[in-house]
């Protein structure tokens, strides 16, 4: 199918979806909540099927695939709860004489149809974080799934329709990036939600016109190990947070800073934890790290490691492929200007650097173009609060890795890491607009 025909057919299909806005927006809260609960239950009933499909499509280790499915079950169920309580405020206006006797009511209304573009790395739960808020508000939507995972998206769409969401009010439309850009430019949609690379995300925002745009674009996920931290716990969590799903997570630990007094001890513990990670077939129950999504990604990661080494960095672990899997790689003293320090690697590579104190750590963690999530291992309450107020990140995680995410909390970044927030309730706020009604009883 050529691009012109593909574009025309895709826009025509999208046009039919958005025409159902009045129908879906009129669905009462209980009906939207019931639909979401049914979706959650049906996913739970097919959890192993979904996990196997995710493992097959995107090479995610089966145990991590199962964890993703469980999170999606929760996300849709939580959206059902939010659909019931997403209300407004009553504001007394008798704060000055001119408005005495008046009363204001506020309520959020859906902005309009939504275009949802999702990445390959969480083909079910990141889709859930876009689709569930739309259903909770009564918004028709078009989902452009990752090209690597069309079957997972279609399986979810089948469940959505089986759960009584109007059949004409949603579609998963796999299409090329060129066609997706035409959808972004189209006036059919009032909302664009995109998760992916910074370069693509900001380009799409520039093409989006007057749409409400939510961008989740990743980052370099810095982490600081304070000398007062529980080093054994920090090392265990850091090894997992840097390398699970081969680092193909936008909040994978990438830049590790450790205080000088604990640096060598932490390094030794971290290397032991990395050595315990199991490489192999994603379908194997014991596998922690499988192959990257494609050969192009393998070559890019390998080139970035080579660039750092050429600039004087030292490979402490890994740095090469083993039986078709790029090994978990820890790099010490990577040059400040190399890609591993400046860009999101999206692979199983982390850098380790010694810092003299927390002030230096916070300064280095604040540098660069990204600001999604950061982590601090410390038992110093003052440092915890200081990091929250100082770091330019959307989320700061204390005594855990930046790769931690609860599906309840607001999630998103600052600077080049994006705009807006996900997390069901917070996405619902992004997808809706506030209206005020002022009453003047006579």
Residue 287's SS3 state is: coil
Encoded tokens for 202 = 């900001």
- Tell me the pLDDT tens digit for each residue of 258-282: 999 999 999 999 999 999 999 999 9
Of all residues in the chain, the percent with pLDDT exceeding 90 is 97
Q: What's the mean pLDDT in 363-372?
A: 98
- Tell me the pLDDT tens digit for each residue of 404-439: 999 999 999 999 999 999 999 999 999 999 999 999
Residue 7: pLDDT over 90:
no
CATH fold label, 3-217+417-439? Aldehyde Dehydrogenase; Chain A, domain 1 (3.40.605)
- Tell me the pLDDT tens digit for each residue of 150-196: 999 999 999 999 999 999 999 999 999 999 999 999 999 999 999 99
Residue with tokens 């199991």: 278
CA distance linking residue 255 with residue 334, whole number of Å: 10
Burial class of residue 201 in the structure, from the number of CB atoms within 10 Å of its CB (0-12 exposed, 13-18 middle, 19+ buried): buried
Of all residues in the chain, the percent with pLDDT exceeding 70 is 99
Q: How confident is the model at residue 300 (pLDDT cuts 50, 70, 90)?
A: very high
Contacts 24+ apart (CB under 8 A), 377-386: 377/223, 377/224, 377/225, 377/226, 377/229, 377/230, 377/233, 377/234, 378/224, 378/226, 378/228, 378/229, 379/226, 379/228, 379/229, 379/230, 380/226, 380/228, 383/226, 383/358, 386/358, 386/362
CA distance linking residue 354 with residue 266, whole number of Å: 11
- Tell me the pLDDT tens digit for each residue of 36-47: 999 999 999 999
pTM of this structure: 0.96
Cα three-residue angle 318-323-328, rounded to 5 degrees: 25
CA distance linking residue 195 with residue 303, whole number of Å: 25
Q: What's the mean pLDDT in 131-145?
A: 98
* Residues forming the active site: 216, 250
Per-residue pLDDT, 4? 40
CA distance linking residue 413 with residue 410, whole number of Å: 10
- Tell me the pLDDT tens digit for each residue of 28-68: 999 999 999 999 999 999 999 999 999 999 999 999 999 99
CA distance linking residue 134 with residue 138, whole number of Å: 6
Per-residue pLDDT, 5? 45
Task: Give yes or no for a contact between 353 and 332, defined as CB atoms under 8 angstroms apart.
Answer: yes
Element counts in the chain: helices (H) and strands (E): 16, 20
Residue 2: pLDDT over 50:
no
Residue 116's SS3 state is: strand
CA distance linking residue 255 with residue 266, whole number of Å: 14
Q: Where are the domains of the chain?
A: 3-217+417-439, 222-411
- Tally the residues of the chain: 442
Q: What's the mean pLDDT in 9-15?
A: 93
Terminal CA-to-CA distance of the chain, rounded, Å? 65
Q: Which residues contact 187 (CB under 8 A, 6 or more apart)?
A: 209
Q: What is the mean pLDDT of the chain?
A: 96
Closest by Cα among 251, 239, 348 to 290 = 348
CA atoms in the 13 A half-sphere facing the CB of 430: 28
Task: Give yes or no for a contact between 194 and 214, defined as CB atoms under 8 angstroms apart.
Answer: yes
Q: What's the mean pLDDT in 370-378?
A: 98
Beta partners for residue 191, in sequence order: 114, 212
Encoded tokens for 65 = 């695939």
Q: What's the mean pLDDT in 329-354?
A: 97
CATH 3.40.309.10 fits 222-411, yes or no: yes
Task: Give yes or no for a contact between 374 and 403, defined as CB atoms under 8 angstroms apart.
Answer: no
Q: What's the mean pLDDT in 115-130?
A: 98
- Across 196-287, the runs of DSSP E, i.e. the strands, are 212-216, 222-225, 255-259
CA distance linking residue 153 with residue 58, whole number of Å: 12
Q: Higher model confidence: residue 376 or residue 3?
A: 376
């Amino acid at each position: 199918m050529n691009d012109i025909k593909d574009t025309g057919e895709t826009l025509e299909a999208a046009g039919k979806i958005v025409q159902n806005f009045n129908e879906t927006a009129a669905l009462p809260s209980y009906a939207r909540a019931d639909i979401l609960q049914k979706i959650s239950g049906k996913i739970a009933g097919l959890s192993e099927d979904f996990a196997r499909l995710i493992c097959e499509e995107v090479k995610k280790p089966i145990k991590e695939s199962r964890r993703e499915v469980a999170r999606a079950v929760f996300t849709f169920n939580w959206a059902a709860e939010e659909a019931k309580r997403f209300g407004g405020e009553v504001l007394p206006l008798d704060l000055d004489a001119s408005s005495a006797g008046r009363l204001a009511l506020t309520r959020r209304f859906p902005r309009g149809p939504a275009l949802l573009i999702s990445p390959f790395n969480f083909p079910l739960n990141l889709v859930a974080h876009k689709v569930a808020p739309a259903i909770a508000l009564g918004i028709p939507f078009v989902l452009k799934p990752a090209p690597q995972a069309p079957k997972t998206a279609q399986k979810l769409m089948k469940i959505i329709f089986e759960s009584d969401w109007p059949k004409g009010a949603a579609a998963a439309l796999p299409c090329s990036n060129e066609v997706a850009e035409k959808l972004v430019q189209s006036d059919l949609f009032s909302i664009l939600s995109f998760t992916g690379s910074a370069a693509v995300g900001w380009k799409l925002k520039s093409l989006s016109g007057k749409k409400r745009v939510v961008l989740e674009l990743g980052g370099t996920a810095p982490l600081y190990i304070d000398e007062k931290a529980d080093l054994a716990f920090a090392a265990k969590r850091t090894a997992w947070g840097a390398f699970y799903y081969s680092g193909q997570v936008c909040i994978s630990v990438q830049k590790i800073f450790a205080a000088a007094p604990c640096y060598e001890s932490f390094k030794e513990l971290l290397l032991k934890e990395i050595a315990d990670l199991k490489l192999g077939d994603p379908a194997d129950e014991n596998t922690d790290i499988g192959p990257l999504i494609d050969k192009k990604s393998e070559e890019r990661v390998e080139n970035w490691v080579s660039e750092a080494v050429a600039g004087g960095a030292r490979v402490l672990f890994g740095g090469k492929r083993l039986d078709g899997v790029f090994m978990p790689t820890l790099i010490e003293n990577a040059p400040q200007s190399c890609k591993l320090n400046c860009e999101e690697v999206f692979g199983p590579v982390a850098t380790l650097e010694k810092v003299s104190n927390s002030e230096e750590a916070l300064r280095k963690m604040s540098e660069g173009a990204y600001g999604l999530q950061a982590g601090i291992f410390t038992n110093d309450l003052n440092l915890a609060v200081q990091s929250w107020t100082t770091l330019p990140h959307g989320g700061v995680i204390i005594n855990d890795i930046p790769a931690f995410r609860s599906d309840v909390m607001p999630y998103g970044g600052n600077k080049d890491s994006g705009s807006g927030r996900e997390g069901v309730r917070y996405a619902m706020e992004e997808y809706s607009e506030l209206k005020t009604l002022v009453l003047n009883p006579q």
